[in-house]
């Protein structure tokens, strides 16, 4: 929505193609925006990858894409065909560093909020936390407290705790998790959180 606001403020017409993995969100977005804007100002196009492919054959003044690096390459290649300027928001490896003088409770709350916002399915979710060894155990405990504060004693029952968008992405994340635990990661968990 932020790129949309900027484009509208600059006087542009906009076509939005939301992810096919979130059809309810796409439908809601289309319903809301069609009440606010005429279709020649903002148009929400729903559909699968074939719709995206067809859109990418059109000439645009600018393309803003947020998503995976793999699809970002496809979008960039299509934009190059028309020499269309492009913004790729592909996420990154947002590390967090927590030193021994940090306010550990505050840091834990902020890290857990950022990581669990939309179940980590945001471009800027922290992927790594580097914690000074002198405050590591306190940080872990405060993270558990922050999760309880946000989602209760059993996060699986919380209406505020988001779920992974589909089974394919769940399997991908589960595979990454199991590989990390097998190799190096010290797993800190309570069964009811998984």
Active-site residue, 143 included: no
- Of the residues 20, 50, 81, 89, which is catalytic? 89
| Angstrom distance (rounded) from CA 87 to CA 74 | 13
Tokens of 158: 């919380």
Active-site residue, 123 included: yes
- Of the residues 123, 137, 162, 190, which is catalytic? 123
Q: What contacts 153, CB < 8 A, 6 or more positions away? A: 192
> Hey, which bits of 91-151 come out as E strands?
94-98, 126-131
15, 55, 140, 156 from 50: Cα distances, Å? 16, 9, 45, 35
Residues annotated catalytic, as ranges: 89, 123
């Amino acid at each position: 929505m932020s790129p949309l606001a900027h484009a509208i403020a600059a006087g542009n017409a906009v076509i939005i193609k939301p992810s096919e993995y979130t059809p309810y969100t796409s439908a809601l977005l289309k319903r809301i925006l069609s009440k606010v804007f005429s279709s020649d100002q903002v148009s929400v196009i729903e559909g699968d990858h074939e719709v995206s492919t067809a859109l990418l054959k059109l000439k645009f003044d600018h393309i803003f894409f947020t998503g995976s690096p793999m699809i970002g390459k496809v979008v960039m290649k299509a934009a190059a065909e028309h020499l269309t300027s492009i913004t790729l928001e592909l996420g990154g490896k947002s590390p967090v560093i927590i030193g021994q003088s940090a306010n550990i409770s505050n840091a834990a709350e902020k890290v857990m909020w950022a990581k669990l916002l939309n179940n980590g399915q945001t471009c800027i979710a922290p992927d790594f936390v580097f914690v000074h060894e002198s405050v590591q155990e306190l940080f872990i405990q405060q993270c558990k407290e922050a999760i309880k504060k946000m989602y209760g004693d059993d996060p699986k029952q919380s209406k505020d705790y988001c779920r992974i968008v589909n089974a394919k992405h769940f399997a991908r994340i589960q595979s990454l998790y199991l590989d990390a635990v097998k190799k190096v990661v010290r797993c800190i968990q309570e069964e009811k959180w998984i």
